Every structure is written in C-alpha cells, then in structure tokens.
Homo-oligomer: A and B are copies of this chain.
Amino acid sequence: MVTDEMTIGVSRRNFLQAVGVGSSAGVMFATMGAVGLAPTAAGQPKNESWSPPRESDFTLTGRSRKKVVVVGAGPAGLASAYELQKAGYKVTVLEARHRVGGRTLTIRDGDSETDVNGVRQTARFGDGIYMNAGAGRIAQWMVTMDYLRELGVPYEVFTNANADAYLYNERTGSTPGNPTRYRTAKADVFGYTSELLTLATDQGALDQKLTAADKENLRSFLRSWGSLKADGTYQGGSNRGFSEYPSAWNEHGTPLAGPGSVSEVLASRMGQYFPFEINWEQSMLMFQPKGGMDTTYDYFVRAIGKQNVHLDSPVTGVRNTSSGVTVSYTAKNGKPREIDADFAIVSAPAGLMRGWETNWGPDIDAALGEFALGSPAGKIGLQYRSRFWEDDHRIYGGITETDMDLAHIWYPSYGYGERKGLLVGYYNTGTNARTYADMAPKQRELRAVEQGVKIHGAKYRTELESSFSIAWHKVPYIEGAWAYPNTESSRFKQLQQGAGNVYFAGDWMSEVSAWQHGAFWGARYAVQALHTRVMTT
C-alpha cells in the first residue's frame, strides 16, 4: 500500500512525477497494479490511471483465462478486444456492419454504403484517393496517438487550420467570388482590437486594473500582435496577405484592398471562427493515419486476429446467465447463432441496444436511452480532376468556414502534388445535416457545389468527377453521429457499473465524446473494471 509516510522527503509534485501519473489516487491504483492487484471497493478504478491487464496476472495467480465477447468493432470495441487479448483473454468480436471502424469510416474507390432507407452509393474514386467520412483528426494529447505508435500505424499532419483557407459569411457581407482569407481576417480583427485596447489603456480606462509596468507590457504586446503603427492605429499591413506577393527586384507585391473600417470588420463576424484554433480539442498540430482513418482499425484487427472478428454479425440479444453471458446474433450466413462467454463488453450505439433481447432490466434500457447517438452529421466527398484549390488558390489543406448550410469545406491533408484530389464539400450537423440527408445523393452534390462555387469559382463545378455522401443518422447499426451525455447523471454512473457480466464501452461512456480518445478511454475503463473483477473473485 502507498501511504502518506511513503511520500516523506519528496515533494508531492516530484513524487507524482516519479510515478508518472498526475493524481494521488492515480498513483495508488497504478502502484497497486504494479505490485499485484489490490482489491478495490467496487472493483473499479476511481481515477485516470490505466494499468492494463497483463498476461502475468493470470500466470502468477493460476487463474483461468476468461472468455469475453465484444460487441461492436469500432474504436471502443476493438481497443477492448485488443487490451483483453494482450493479457490472455479469449476474445470474440461481433460486428453488425460489413466492415470494422464504426464511425471511423474511410471511403475508397469501390466502397458501397446503403442507408436505412435502402439508398445505395458506391464510390468512384481515383487511385489512392479516399474520404474520411467520419472521424478525421487526432490531437497530440489524445491517447489515440499512443495506439498509433503501439500498433505501428504511420501518420501525418492533419491540417485543421490554414491561414490561406477562406472565410465566407454570406449573411454578414461576403459576396460570391469574394471570400476572405483567414490571414486577412485575423490581421484585421487582431489589428483593430489591439488598437482599441491600446487606446483604452492610453486613456487611463484600465488604471484600476493595470500598473504602469502592466500597461507598458500590454502596449508592447499589442503593438506587435496588431501590427500597429507608431501612433497606435491599425492600418493593415503585410500580414493581411497580397493579391501578388512580393517577388524580386523592386516588386513589392500588390497589397489586398482594405482593411475596412473597424465597424465593417466587427460586423463581418469573421472573428467568430478564430476560437476554434485555440480550442483544447482542435488546436494544431493534429494528425491522421496515412491512407485513411480506418487504417488504425485494420492494424487492430491484425493484432486481434482476423479469425476473432466476425463481420455482418448483428447482435440480437445479450443475456446474463448464472455462469456468464449468452450473446445471440445473426451470422453472416443469415442463421441465428449464440455464443456463451464469461463476460461481454458491448460497444454498440447505446440507443440501439435497447432493441436487443436482454435481461438487464428496464433501468439499464432507460440509461442507454439517454446516450443514444441521435445527432445528425453529414459529409460529402467531392473528387476533382485537378487540385485547383492548391494550384489556383494556394490552399494546401485546412478548412474553409462559411455561414452557408454546407458549413465547412475540408481540403485534403494528403496527396499534395498529385493530379486529382478530394475535398470534403460539406461537413455539417443539426438542421443543416438533416437538410442534406433528406436529399438524394445527387441533389446533395448539386447543393454543395452550388455553394462552393461562390468561394472557388467555376472550377468547383467543372472539375468535379464524382461524389459520395454520408448521413450518419441514416447509417444502419449506427444511426447517429454522437451523443453528448450528461456525465454527472445517475444514469451515466449506473452504466459504469455494468449490468451483471456485461460492461459498456464507447465514446459516449467518456468525458470526450465524439472522439476516438473518448472511445479508447471508455474501453480501457471497461476492461479495467472487468479485469479487476476477474482478479478479485
């Protein structure tokens, strides 16, 4: 046991650093894990630690290896199966769909999807071209990076922000053919806000808050940040960009027209997009596996063993029995099948599990109902025969933001220098996603292109070769983009306890919903709870 006495002589901070985790409860659990399992009250971790089950946990204690059925081959399911199997569990994964990855769906040439209404699309993409139809980005701090490294998945920068991408706010002044570059909008917003704050400081308006030294430090920052003139005013400058950049001899470049007045700049509402870049989940640098987000899950399947992952096998029931669980499903051949196991980890979308035949009772069903994915989100991939956004617009990645219903345009973070390329022509949620989802695929394409032309001109239509769109709330066995559960609710805490021999996993069981990070941590906690129970009973 770790006691307070053990920390005498080292500062709390140093001790925690030495053990390598960030909270003292974490230290306790991790240290217990390292020296042999200690029983915990409810058999559950109470902290952020992760002490993966190990093969030696079985060999050293003489316990028999348990059998676990994992339902769902998305990030949470595959990570659960992977961690369990590394420790010697016998694992079977059942996946309802024809492919693994869940909402980390990568569409390549020849891939087909049929929605819940029977509408079928088949991608007609060029060699090496793909569309991440679901998850697209990974932040450096996310545990997803650790799995990429552990599995050996190659990865590259995902271009989440780009000074040369466009902003296009039709409702507040943007007109077709006249999008604004991020860099220009930033120079203007930061320029004017710096001017205003300098002025207020100089006028003494902040004397109650700032010392003379503070004011000098502040002025110095603002002068540089806002590219202010000696008199403290903002009057544009090179950071806005150029229509022709400076070149050689005496060609100083052609500055962009502007800036507009402070009123115009504020009224444009361009600044509303800037917080995204400093957001804790979205700040660059971000990353993506090379070749498509689902590449990660191919590596997981390889590690787990392809023979242990059953596709086209939708689960129909999960029942606790006196000795474990019985999972019923429809096999690929259409026949009903059952598997008995010691435990199950179920990582299907919460809402859909209520349709299964279960004996976990109405309380669990009610809890699952609160975590139904439900939210709509949609994307369209537009394949072009030329990379005009790079060649003509000099936008080599990043995201263009709009107030049109296409919402975002994503430029590809791969394939630079290739002939063809694929944009994400819309990525939208809520009402906008429903608007597109309710259209036929061709109509979605037409609408997205009509809007994109306003930003990129005629080539956005004339260079188009093919498209593929997804509406997440219409994808069978998924039926939604994500849920943002109330993690303080009693329902949430109930699901953490599991239901008999069944544990729940998924990004919706995490504090970071809608990210692979959340799915992985949800999986780890389910695995840890299961394993702790195995080791203490």
A residues near B (Cβ < 8 Å) are: 21-23, 26, 47-48, 140-143, 145, 148-149, 152-157, 159, 161-164, 183, 186-187, 189-190, 193, 196-197, 199-201, 203, 205-206, 209-211, 213-214, 217-218, 220-222, 224-225, 227, 238-254, 262-263, 266-267, 269, 271-272, 274-275, 278-280, 283-285, 287, 390-391, 394-398, 413, 416-417, 487-488, 492-493, 496, 509-512, 517-518, 521-522, 524-525
Q: Are A214 and B247 neighbours in the complex by a CB distance under 8 Å?
A: no
CB neighbours (8 Å) of A283 from chain B are 163-164, 183, 239
**Chain B residues in 8 Å Cβ range of A275:** 224-225, 227
Q: With the chains together, A199 CA to B224 CA distance in Å?
A: 22
Would you call A398 and B213 a contact (CB within 8 A)? no
Q: SS class of chain A's interface: helix, strand, loop or mixed?
A: mixed
A299 shortest CB reach to chain B, Å: 12
A178, chain B: closest CB distance, angstroms: 10
Q: Contact: B272 with A224, CB < 8 Å?
A: yes
Given contacts A21-B244, A266-B221, contact A239 B394 (CB under 8 A): no
Q: Given that A154-B417, A287-B416 are known contacts, is A248 also in contact with B140, CB under 8 Å in the complex?
A: no
Task: Give A250 to B287 CA distance when docked, in angstroms.
Answer: 26
Given contacts A209-B199, A217-B267, A251-B47, contact A162 B244 (CB under 8 A): no
Set B47, B250, B267: member contacting A213, Cβ < 8 A: B267
Q: A48-B244, A48-B253, A250-B487 are in contact. List 20 more A-B contacts (CB 8 A).
A: A48-B247, A141-B241, A141-B242, A142-B245, A154-B417, A196-B209, A196-B218, A205-B205, A214-B267, A217-B267, A239-B278, A247-B510, A247-B511, A247-B512, A248-B522, A248-B524, A250-B496, A251-B521, A252-B511, A287-B396
Partner of A285, one of B22, B141, B164: B164
Determine if B284 and A145 form an interchain contact, defined as CB atoms under 8 angstroms apart.
no
Closest B-chain residue to A241, C-beta based? B280
Q: What's the Cα separation between A460 and B524 when bound, in Å?
A: 31
**Could you list 16 A-B pairs, sorted by A, with CB under 8 Å?**
A140-B394, A142-B245, A155-B416, A162-B285, A196-B200, A199-B209, A205-B205, A217-B266, A217-B267, A247-B517, A247-B524, A248-B521, A248-B522, A250-B487, A250-B511, A284-B284
Complex interface: chain B residues within 8 A of A267 (CB): 213-214, 217
- Residue of B at shortest CB range from A223? B275
Bound CA span A225–B269, Å: 12
Give the residues in chain B near A227, CB-CB below 8 Å.
275
- Report whether B510 and A417 are in contact in the complex, using a CB–CB cutoff of 8 Å: no
Contact across chains for B249 and A509 when beta carbons are under 8 A apart: yes
Asked whether A280 lies within 8 Å of B183 as measured between CB atoms, the reply is yes
Q: Contacting A157 at CB < 8 Å: which of B159, B193, B518? A: B159
Interface pair A285/B217, CB less than 8 Å apart:
no
Residue of B nearest to A523 (CB): B248
Complex Cα gap A488–B252 (Å):
10
Q: How far is the CA of A487 from the CA of B253 in the complex (A)?
A: 13
CA distance A307 to B152 in the complex (A): 42
Q: Specify the chain B residue showing the minimal Cβ separation from A156.
A: B156
B248–A525 touching, CB < 8 Å: yes
From A285, A287, A390, A492, residue with most partner B Cβ within 10 Å:
A285
The minimal Cβ–Cβ distance linking A60 to chain B, given in whole angstroms, is: 28
Q: Are B155 and A214 in contact (CB under 8 A)?
A: no
Contact A280 B224 (CB under 8 A): no
